[in-house]
Structure 1
Amino acid sequence: MKRKPIAAISGLGFSELSRKPVGTTRELAAAAVEAAIADAGLEKADIDGLLINRSPVADAEELPLRLQNDLQLRGLGLLAAIDSEGSSAVQMIQYAAMAIKQGLATSVACVFSDTPVKAKGGGDTFAIAMPLTGIEGWEREQGFLGAAAAYALAAQRHMALYGTTSEDFGAYAISCRAWAARNPQAFLKKPLTMDEYLASPMVVSPFRVLDCAFPVNGAIAVIVTSAERAADRRQPPVYVHGMGQGHRGRSGLADDEPEVNTGAPQAAQRAYRSAGVTARDVTACQIYDAFSYVGILALEEYGLCKRGEGAAFVAAGHTAPGGALPVNTGGGHLSGFYLQGVTPISEGVIQVRGAGGERQVPRNDLVLVTGSGGCLDYHACLLLSPHTSLS
């Protein structure tokens, strides 16, 4: 039986992306939504749903529901702010699809906007405590600040269990940089060697600077519609065939290892099942990879290689240009730009449209897009395709 698409993405819009101040979070969000509406060949009057996602470290007033008024959107049937940390952007598309199916809206704008890069860079913005122990305030009192520290512990566990090395993380960063060199929007395009990677400053072992995301100021929006409505729009439809979420939780017990066993497999299984496919059918991936380790782990957790073999898979060149499974073809968070969950979403849309230019993958039949938040706590994914049927 042929499965119909769940929904479609018909518009993609960017604000200016910069490492310098280029506007408020709210102004950039409005610019991205307007660009997405124009990209879809729609008018503001056609938009009857608006979903908003801000960074978990941003104040709520930076991107309020009053964005509706800024955009002069009237009579919305759907309006909400989505907050599930790094998985939120993917979840916006999922909730938009469900709302459309239930008749709450017909064309939903989904937008993420952030301005984390201040005068001193983005480091201070993300120097927050991540609660891992369950003991309120412990992490901050111990100086355990920043996502890098939390993710470094997770990476150390993978290294201990499977023999993953610093060079393996370097191979992942080099693969991302090779893709970024082909992306006009990427911020870090200079070719990267292993020696250069190993010589980069250490942030917190095992992470070097080049293992960490490159944050920018900016916003990205998409327009979600039904598959039928997307068929006659300005851009080629990007059909959503599968979607899933997985939130495993932390028990705090000795045998619980959320660093290497996350909710991603649950998200993957639901998405593959809803699309009627398996991991073997995926032809390209756009992964939320705020750190190199996250990209390697995602390959394992989403069933694209065996447990403990993600590092070797990357080191063998399979994810790089010319490899068997292109991963983060815009450079990802490490070399492209870090705008949280909309970075992989935007590249997924570009690839499915066949608009990747020099970085266009040879097969865009089924593109996996992932989002994750917390310290590997919250997971959501999409399966995108240019085809109305996957069978």
Structure 2
Amino acid sequence: MTKCATAIAGLGMSPMARTDIGSTRDLAIAAAIACVEDAGVALRDLQGLLVCRSPSKPTSELPLRLRLDLGLGDLRLLGDLNMEGASSVGIIQAASLQIANGLADLVLCVFGDSPLGGATQSGSAAYNRVMNLTGIDGMEARSGLYGAAGPYALAAQRYLARYALAPDALGCYAVACRRWASLHPSAFLREPLDIEGYRQSRMIAEPFRVLDCAYPVNGAIAVLVCSAARARDLRQPPVYVHACGQGHAGLRPFAGDEPELETGARLAAESLWRQARVTSADVQMAQLYDAFSYVGLQALEDYQLCGRGEATSFVASGATSPGGTLPVATGGGHLSGFYLQGMTPVAEAVVQARGHAGERQSPRNELILVTGNGGRMDYHAAMLLSPKEAL
């Protein structure tokens, strides 16, 4: 039996929209205030602040001066972490490690992003940056690989070819996410979706259709991490952090290697199972970083929730949908819920662990896998959360 040292005791969300509703800094302040109110503590009680933002944004978008914006007192922990899409899980891990070692308590972890507004209204325009995949400066730009969709589409093509899957096999994941989103009043895309509707959506970068891609919003989310003992005395049911893991695969651009099919997530998974003394079979729910449908499918395999090459059939069977054996992305995920990078799955995991998810609440919430993913599946961070202090 393992017992936790830390827990998530507060959750706060700013307003979210596809229009200009304020700067990233404004939204982060709103999320932070909502978070401490949710936990029943005061801003002056905080001992630490950790922030992260979209890798496409400069530090000035969400600076360490946020501590002064919030009027915080003396802090024992302050930091800014960048693992791209894995950063939100990463800052919770960092807070947990510091707290477990007695260096701080009541640490606020904040992510904010405001990619949309003015002339930038589409997700593709908001994230139209070159990703360095080859290690050769300028190669991607000369090849026309701008933004994330193209590089991820190449990985998805390799996956489909390797397992002899139809081009529209990815659609099962988008449909499953939409089933959950239809139960979530704050999800941005709630209209019914079936596989035929998916097939009719426009192509973005083969094999990705628009419904395979994340739905970005402007917004911020904050969580409060503290010791398990302190969490028991606060306003909300504690969500205990049972294990943390990271995995970042080394350079493998050689014949015979398959970096698109076997990523560093396997290293993160090994850490989780070892620390919590569980296996993937014990996981009852998964909140995955799924900026593209393929990324969610790949995570199911990387974290051994199904076999290699089996993710599309697993999802198509209804296993991850409402009423299925393994609920996945129960808020609609990044595809139908909203895209605030790694904080989207974190927030949904906290709501589900508390039992506060309303119509979409899963009755099996005692061990929840939460993942983060950065680069083009280059950086991975994951956690196991539970409403139970001991497993």
TM normalised by structure 1 equals 0.98
Q: Work out whether 1:48 is the aligned partner of 2:72.
A: no
Q: Cα RMSD (Å) of the superposition?
A: 0.9
Unaligned 5+ runs, structure 2: none
Q: Which residue of 1 aligns with 2:340?
A: 339
Q: Distance in 2 between matches of 1:78 and 1:235?
A: 23
Q: Which residue of 2 aligns with 1:33?
A: 32
Q: Distance in 2 between matches of 1:345 and 1:111?
A: 11
After superposition, residues 50-199 of structure 1 pair within 5 angstroms as: 50-119=49-118, 120-199=121-200
> Secondary structure of the residue that 1:239 maps to in structure 2?
strand
Q: Distance in 2 between matches of 1:171 and 1:251?
A: 30
Q: Distance in 1 between matches of 2:88 and 2:122?
A: 24
Q: 1:68: Cα distance to partner?
A: 0.6
Q: Work out whether 1:225 is the aligned partner of 2:229.
A: no
Q: Distance in 2 between matches of 1:97 and 1:156?
A: 38
> Secondary structure of the residue that 1:285 maps to in structure 2?
strand
Q: 1:151: Cα distance to partner?
A: 0.6
Aligned length: 389
Q: 1:122: Cα distance to partner?
A: 2.6
Deviation larger for 93-102 or 208-217: 93-102
The code of the aligned residue for 1:171 comes to: C
Q: Is the 8 A contact 2:252 2:259 kept in 1?
A: no
Q: Distance in 1 between matches of 2:241 and 2:273?
A: 12
Deviation larger for 261-270 or 215-224: 261-270
The code of the aligned residue for 2:186 comes to: Q
Unaligned 5+ runs, structure 1: none
Q: Is the 8 A contact 1:250 1:256 kept in 2?
A: no
Q: 1:156: Cα distance to partner?
A: 0.6
The code of the aligned residue for 1:322 comes to: G
Q: Is the 8 A contact 1:16 1:28 kept in 2?
A: yes
Q: Distance in 1 between matches of 2:196 and 2:105?
A: 52
Deviation larger for 114-123 or 299-308: 114-123
Q: Distance in 2 between matches of 1:130 and 1:203?
A: 17
Q: Distance in 1 between matches of 2:245 and 2:100?
A: 16
Q: Work out whether 1:295 is the aligned partner of 2:296.
A: yes
Q: Distance in 2 between matches of 1:41 and 1:197?
A: 43
Q: 1:251: Cα distance to partner?
A: 2.6
Deviation per CA, 1:74-120: give whole Å up to 9, x if none: 11110000100010100111000011122221100000000011233
Q: Which residue of 2 aligns with 1:317?
A: 318
Q: Is the 8 A contact 2:4 2:240 kept in 1?
A: yes
Q: Distance in 2 between matches of 1:249 and 1:291?
A: 23
Q: 1:6: Cα distance to partner?
A: 3.4
Q: Distance in 1 between matches of 2:122 and 2:281?
A: 40
Deviation per CA, 1:227-250: give whole Å up to 9, x if none: 110011100000010110000122
Deviation larger for 133-142 or 84-93: 133-142
Q: Distance in 1 between matches of 2:284 and 2:303?
A: 13
Q: Distance in 1 between matches of 2:346 and 2:5?
A: 16
